Structure 1
């Protein structure tokens, strides 16, 4: 490598003490739209199959996004070739996001939606690998890791293209296989070659994507009643939904985020990449997916309590809508518990306890008014978070 090129790469490297750049925030706006597309598609179809397929799309989006979180931790995203690569990746991901409603069921006319998704995914991931390869010049360990990482990406993309040639259940199972191959290939490929240059930046970047997901849940509350006249049930339900989202924010940013960043900062350098991969790349997937499901449940709950012509206040939330509300909350709470366990080595009982208290409403909620179910899960979540915060405050004094 020439001395000039080496100096240029060093100048573009991410400083140890750094924060997320504006370009990264701009980049994440595409994922705001993509998550909105997932929620809207699941809400329009509202079936068990739609729920499963929606989660598969979230997993595909997440694996796309997290690769660029690692890349932007190696070099500044707003400088040099990385800047142009980020803009190119944004364009590709925006096309993929536009195609989400047709990811499994192609609409008449135009291009094949499943093929467009597969091609966009391959292009997005290939750009990521190419940028990583160019920017890792001189780092034999990282380049070796990229070579171990590439076969899983290629195999996953091939399975997505195969899925595009099928339909129905076969297409869904091929999506499952594609994601399993891609995720498993990363895990079994090890982490010794990956680099975490700035622990603070890495933790902050993932915290911001959690904020984006929580923002989607708030958007879903508004969308659920946007065309309905304002009423006291809507006021009550929207306040409860905001309180529930606030409770999850409190649990993550009040306790989990700080513990994760501290662990990532203090972990020995040779173990840091493995911790980052497990706690952030893997365990943040169910954490974010749970919020996406919760957003769908909140959207339908607001529709139930606000649309007096279609539902009465005594109508329960049923089926997929109830499963999304309760299941999404339970998934998120267990994911937070797993994240804390992986980063601190301790299993805090608060989140699992809250999840176990909320879970029975997957059945109880079918007999209770929708507003009562929403109130119950909100009170449980906020109360447990408040008690845990108080306990931690008392033990640190």
Structure 2
């Protein structure tokens, strides 16, 4: 009898993230670095759009792999080998990012499709002796990946100016898959009950990716600062970037990550929370960190003047991050509304838009203001959630 490759559930170590998964994540440290450097090198409306496409592709590869390793045991040799092959594809894809809309479009698309299609095909083989519902789930995912792959490859073969149109269709298909429950004629549709994920593992995996993004932000800040003359303005920009990263960590990890962890771990339908809160919403959080890292570097390098797109990064990064966290906490923690502290932070940054684009603030001052807003949000939420409930007189 073939030994199952599924994770064992219910034990003390069942939801633990394995060392092989952390090793796999190193590829995505490189990918995040490539994305931030790519946006910095092409800081324009088209650069923003292209980076958004590439971020979604990188995230989709990573989060779908996290779903697979949630079901399959990465300590088993076949699963380990599959992850090593995925690492090869991830490195090729990451190395192609700077020229994905140039000379390496086909390499990027081929690596992406190979991972997105190869992963569910491997899973189909891995669960061949399991229940029909589980086999059907991976078969449907493979069909959707193959359909989207046609457009990814077509875009890779197309002229660079037409590539984004093909890839837009491909990305829409990829994003629609989980939302449409991977419905396939003749194979039916999945349900969130089929996605019996280990909530503890999913929450920890996504938290680790947030750490990857924040770590890359610190690396960018440190590398930029080390190559500059250490003037008063440079020290202020360096301090602002560091405090901003700490505030981002606090906003996500102080209460939100653990509350989400507890909610999905004890949910009767963890697949529903994993799909919305962790698969879709978390990309906003990751994108906010990456864009904020670009903004911090711009504030250090161009403290007095920057472009329209640069100002957009200084405002857009914190907006994406606060919006992502607000939605995550709203969806995953049974809140009647998003956190008031996050909504106020968003309103303050939105109110800065006319003054920022009117050049009333220098890039350095603007990034210091957005850092103060992040600190305000972090402190407000921390104090509000730890305030003792009012006493009720008998």
TM-score scaled by structure 1?
A: 0.89
Per the alignment, residue 289 of structure 1 pairs with: 287
> How many angstroms does 1:215 deviate by?
1.1
Q: Which structure has greater helix proportion?
A: 1
> How many angstroms does 1:169 deviate by?
4.4
Q: Spell out, residue by residue over 1:353-393, the C-alpha distance to the aligned partner (whole angstroms, 9 max, x if none).
A: 21111123333223212221111111111012101111111
Map 1:212-223 → 2, pairs under 5 A? 212-223=212-223
Aligned residues of 1:218 and 1:245 also touching (Cα < 8 A):
yes
> How many angstroms does 1:396 deviate by?
5.8
> How many angstroms does 1:333 deviate by?
0.6
SS in 1 for 2:302: helix
Structure 2 distance, partners of 1:385, 1:228, is 30
Map 1:53-132 → 2, pairs under 5 A? 53-106=50-103, 113-132=104-123
Structure 1 distance, partners of 2:197, 2:146, is 27
> How many angstroms does 1:335 deviate by?
0.9
Structure 2 distance, partners of 1:196, 1:94, is 30
Per the alignment, residue 131 of structure 2 pairs with: 139
Per the alignment, residue 259 of structure 1 pairs with: 259
Per the alignment, residue 148 of structure 2 pairs with: 156
Q: Spell out, residue by residue over 1:47-67, the C-alpha distance to the aligned partner (whole angstroms, 9 max, x if none).
A: 110111011100000000011
> How many angstroms does 1:229 deviate by?
2.1
Structure 1 distance, partners of 2:43, 2:11, is 45
1:27 aligned residue (24, 27, 30):
24
Q: Spell out, residue by residue over 1:129-157, the C-alpha distance to the aligned partner (whole angstroms, 9 max, x if none).
A: 12321232312212212222223212221
Count of residue pairs brought into register by the alignment: 375
1:388 aligned residue (352, 364, 381):
381
Per the alignment, residue 310 of structure 1 pairs with: none
Per the alignment, residue 8 of structure 2 pairs with: 13
Structure 2 distance, partners of 1:335, 1:239, is 24
Asked whether 1:227 is paired with 2:227, we answer: yes
Q: Spell out, residue by residue over 1:315-340, the C-alpha distance to the aligned partner (whole angstroms, 9 max, x if none).
A: 24431111112112101111111111
Per the alignment, residue 333 of structure 1 pairs with: 322
Per the alignment, residue 51 of structure 1 pairs with: 48
5+ residue gaps in structure 1? 107-112, 306-314
Aligned residues of 1:142 and 1:193 also touching (Cα < 8 A):
no
> How many angstroms does 1:46 deviate by?
1.6
> How many angstroms does 1:186 deviate by?
2.1
Structure 2 distance, partners of 1:226, 1:360, is 33
Asked whether 1:350 is paired with 2:341, we answer: yes
Per the alignment, residue 301 of structure 1 pairs with: 299
Structure 2 distance, partners of 1:295, 1:343, is 26
Aligned residues of 1:157 and 1:178 also touching (Cα < 8 A):
yes
SS in 1 for 2:255: helix
> How many angstroms does 1:9 deviate by?
3.2
Aligned residues of 1:14 and 1:72 also touching (Cα < 8 A):
no
Task: Note closer, same or farther for the CA distance 1:105–1:385 as it changes in structure 2 (3 Å cut).
Answer: same
Structure 2 distance, partners of 1:240, 1:218, is 12
2:311 aligned residue (308, 318, 322):
322
Aligned residues of 2:67 and 2:202 also touching (Cα < 8 A):
yes
Q: Spell out, residue by residue over 1:255-311, the C-alpha distance to the aligned partner (whole angstroms, 9 max, x if none).
A: 21011111101211xx21111111101111111111111111111111113xxxxxx
Per the alignment, residue 186 of structure 2 pairs with: none
Per the alignment, residue 244 of structure 2 pairs with: 244
Structure 1 distance, partners of 2:38, 2:141, is 31
Per the alignment, residue 187 of structure 2 pairs with: none
Asked whether 1:37 is paired with 2:34, we answer: yes
